[in-house]
């Protein structure tokens, strides 16, 4: 690195309880979201059950997660332990049989390595919002290179705090540290217990800060760490004080890199993480849930995680697909489909949690399910760059403005209308240069996309504006009129009877657009009245046939 280059800075996100979070019973989390348990309920339902986690290459029986006590061998070792089971003496490394001797009702959860890697990749997508290069390492670490980007967040301390906050929004406990290399930052994060803050280690204080750390904070295998502890080397400072030649001969392969870390030198490169092209968030339940109300709690979590991933990548969802997995046996018994699939076309695209949740919930609440639900799957098949306005006062100010519904609510409203009515029925009115009233405007999509095919403009001058009020609604198909066009005549408009109070000549179009079908019309404006109120209408007389048609309503 040249003298003019900035000092390398890397942020490490360590997830100390990731396996426990992935193995936590789904219905327990749902019950906690629903509120406190009433008095008199069994003690087991008041809190999280006693459980432990086994990390497996493949889920037993081809299924991921869940309580799999019967399918896991009793000699299998526990990789993580829930908080309640730990209070009874269960700890990592015990066999299932040993743990069951302490807690008879212990639930054994199975988490696959693929599930663990997917969870780390979700965190990596969030970290993409803080640096261009992100890397992951199982079982608990995500790195992001923040060299030259910390000032955008107000400094490394604020960057680490914001990064930790967004990772916690995904539902994970997180420890964040910023240092001069990935392994150094990982060591500081693993030994940091500073609560909500993040640890920032300046380059000049790296060696000093490393000295009190335990040797297990370094990337060292269990056998060598145990040997160091047996000979009385418990901290990095004590290991650094040993003669380098003798220490290297006893530490074996990788000793040189380990001793460089003790001196504060870390030049290990980051292997860049490539995010997936399709975003998926899903949740499954051990027991089926009836109705759509409980699914709202799960949907909030899925939308929050999806929003954090989209925000980290600077993308927005142009379409969403929600799949509700039903109970197969009940669905077959009732002759209903096993899954319900809802698709949402978002125009304009959305990425914020509240907006995504609101669009989906408005339609989910009206969905009737024939069978209880066993899981939810939220997928984003179409992605597009997120476009944020610079001055959104209601998003950055406090007080009453925070809940205001101004221009910021328009994208959500448009997305809700598009999801309900369809993309072809929602848009903006675009004025075209045509003399024919029915071809003078077109409904254009809100999103920038393929431009609608415009009819050829008529030669000569553009159509002059109507002298009176512009029509509010042009009928799709002109309505034939049999009544004579004179004062006092009666007309039927939309099943209501009106009398003509006055009429006046509006304009004439003569043989326009002759290359398509020549149009010759005389337009008149009618003032109509009825017991229900008054109405203005535009009618025309076809000069070729003499027939009369109601074409538009002006009021």
Place of tokens 């309640």: 84
**Residue 93 in this model has a pLDDT that exceeds 50:** yes
Mean pLDDT of 142-151: 88
Q: How confident is the model at residue 471 (pLDDT cuts 50, 70, 90)?
A: low
**Cα–Cα distance between 349 and 24 in angstroms, integer?**
33
Range with the largest mean pLDDT of 54-68, 436-450, 461-475, 485-499: 485-499
Mean pLDDT of 358-375: 85
**Residue 400 in this model has a pLDDT that exceeds 80:** no
- State the pLDDT at residue 389: 59
Q: What is the CA radius of gyration of the chain?
A: 34
Q: How confident is the model at residue 6 (pLDDT cuts 50, 70, 90)?
A: low
**Cα–Cα distance between 134 and 136 in angstroms, integer?**
7
- State the pLDDT at residue 142: 92
In this predicted model, what pLDDT tens digit does every residue of 333-344 receive, in sequence order?
Answer: 888 888 888 888
Are 383 and 280 within 8 A, CB to CB? no
Q: Say how many residues make up the chain.
A: 555
142, two tokens: 């995500």
- State the pLDDT at residue 555: 58
Tell me the β-bridge partners of 379.
280, 321
**Cα–Cα distance between 155 and 175 in angstroms, integer?**
18
Q: How confident is the model at residue 457 (pLDDT cuts 50, 70, 90)?
A: very low
* Residue 19 CB neighbour total at 10 angstroms: 26
Q: Which one has a higher pLDDT value, 98 or 435?
A: 98
Tell me the β-bridge partners of 530.
533
Q: Which of 168-177, 181-190, 352-361, 450-459 has the lowest mean pLDDT?
A: 450-459
- State the pLDDT at residue 136: 92
- State the pLDDT at residue 546: 87
Secondary structure string (H, E, C) spanning 40-60: CCCHHHHCCCCEEEEEECCCH
pTM given for the model: 0.66
**Residue 157 in this model has a pLDDT that exceeds 70:** yes
Strand boundaries in 273-395, DSSP class E = 279-289, 315-326, 339-350, 373-385
**Residue 483 in this model has a pLDDT that exceeds 80:** yes
Contacts 24+ apart (CB under 8 A), 333-341: 334/370, 334/371, 336/370, 336/371, 337/370, 338/371, 340/367, 340/369
Mean pLDDT of 393-413: 49
**Residue 166 in this model has a pLDDT that exceeds 70:** yes
Residue 19 three-state SS: helix
* Residue 283 CB neighbour total at 10 angstroms: 19
**Cα–Cα distance between 121 and 275 in angstroms, integer?**
7
Phi, psi of 247 (to 5 degrees): -65, -40
- State the pLDDT at residue 390: 52
**Cα–Cα distance between 313 and 155 in angstroms, integer?**
21
- State the pLDDT at residue 470: 64
Average pLDDT, the chain: 78
Q: Which one has a higher pLDDT value, 467 or 41?
A: 467
In this predicted model, what pLDDT tens digit does every residue of 28-82 receive, in sequence order?
Answer: 444 433 333 333 333 333 456 888 888 887 654 444 444 444 456 778 889 889 8
Q: Which one has a higher pLDDT value, 79 or 464?
A: 79
In this predicted model, what pLDDT tens digit does every residue of 234-288 receive, in sequence order?
Answer: 888 888 888 888 888 778 787 888 888 888 888 888 888 888 888 888 888 878 8
Residue 515 three-state SS: coil
Instruction: Tell me the C-alpha to C-alpha distance, in Å, between residue 478 and each of 219, 278, 331, 475, 548.
Output: 79, 47, 49, 6, 9
């Amino acid at each position: 690195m040249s003298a003019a280059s900035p000092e390398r800075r890397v942020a490490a996100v360590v997830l100390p309880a990731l396996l426990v979070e992935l193995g936590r019973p789904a219905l327990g989390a749902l019950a906690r979201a629903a509120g406190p348990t009433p008095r008199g309920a069994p003690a087991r339902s008041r809190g999280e059950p006693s459980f432990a986690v086994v990390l497996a290459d493949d889920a037993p029986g081809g299924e991921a997660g869940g309580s799999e006590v019967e399918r896991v061998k009793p000699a299998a070792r526990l990789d993580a332990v829930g908080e309640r089971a730990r209070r009874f003496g269960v700890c990592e490394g015990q066999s299932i049989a040993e743990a069951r001797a302490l807690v008879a009702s212990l639930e054994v959860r199975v988490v696959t390595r693929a599930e663990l890697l997917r969870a780390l990749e979700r965190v990596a997508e969030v970290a993409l919002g803080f640096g261009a290069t992100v890397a992951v390492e199982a079982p608990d670490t995500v790195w992001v290179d923040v060299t030259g980007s910390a000032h955008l967040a107000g400094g490394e301390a604020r960057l680490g705090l914001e990064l930790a906050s967004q990772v916690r929004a995904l539902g994970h406990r997180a420890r964040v540290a910023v240092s001069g290399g990935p392994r150094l930052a990982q060591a500081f994060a693993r030994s940091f217990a500073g609560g909500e803050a993040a640890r920032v280690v300046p380059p000049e204080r790296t060696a000093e800060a490393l000295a009190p750390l335990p040797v297990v904070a370094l990337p060292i295998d269990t056998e060598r760490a145990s040997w160091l502890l047996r000979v009385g080397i418990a901290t990095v400072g004590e290991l650094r004080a040993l003669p380098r030649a003798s220490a290297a001969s006893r530490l074996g392969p990788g000793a040189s890199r380990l001793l460089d870390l003790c001196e504060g030198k870390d030049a290990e490169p980051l292997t860049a993480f490539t995010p997936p092209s399709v975003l998926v968030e899903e949740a499954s339940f051990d027991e089926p849930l009836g109705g759509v109300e409980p699914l709202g709690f799960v949907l909030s979590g899925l939308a929050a995680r999806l929003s954090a991933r989209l925000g980290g990548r600077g993308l927005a969802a142009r379409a969403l697909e929600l799949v509700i997995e039903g109970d197969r046996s009940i669905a077959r018994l009732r002759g209903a489909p096993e899954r319900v699939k809802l698709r949402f076309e978002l125009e304009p695209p959305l990425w914020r949690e509240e907006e995504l949740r609101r669009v989906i919930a408005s339609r989910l609440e009206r969905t009737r399910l024939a069978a209880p639900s066993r899981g939810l799957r939220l997928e984003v098949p179409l992605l597009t760059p997120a476009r944020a306005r610079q001055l959104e006062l209601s998003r950055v100010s406090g007080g009453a403005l925070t809940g205001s519904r101004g221009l910021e609510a328009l994208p959500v409203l448009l997305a809700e209308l598009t999801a309900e009515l369809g993309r072809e029925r929602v848009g903006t009115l675009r004025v075209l240069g045509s003399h024919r009233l029915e071809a003078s405007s077109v409904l254009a999509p809100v999103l920038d996309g393929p431009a609608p095919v415009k009819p050829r403009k008529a030669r000569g001058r553009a159509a002059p504006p109507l002298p009176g009020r512009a029509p509010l609604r042009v009928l799709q198909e002109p309505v034939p009129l049999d009544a004579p066009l004179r004062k006092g005549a009666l007309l039927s408009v939309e099943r209501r009877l009106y009398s003509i109070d006055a009429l006046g000549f509006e304009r004439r179009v003569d043989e326009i657009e002759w290359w398509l079908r020549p149009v010759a019309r005389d337009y008149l404006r009618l003032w109509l009245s009825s017991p229900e109120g008054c109405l203005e209408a535009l009618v025309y007389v076809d000069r070729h046939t003499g027939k009369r048609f109601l074409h538009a309503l002006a009021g």
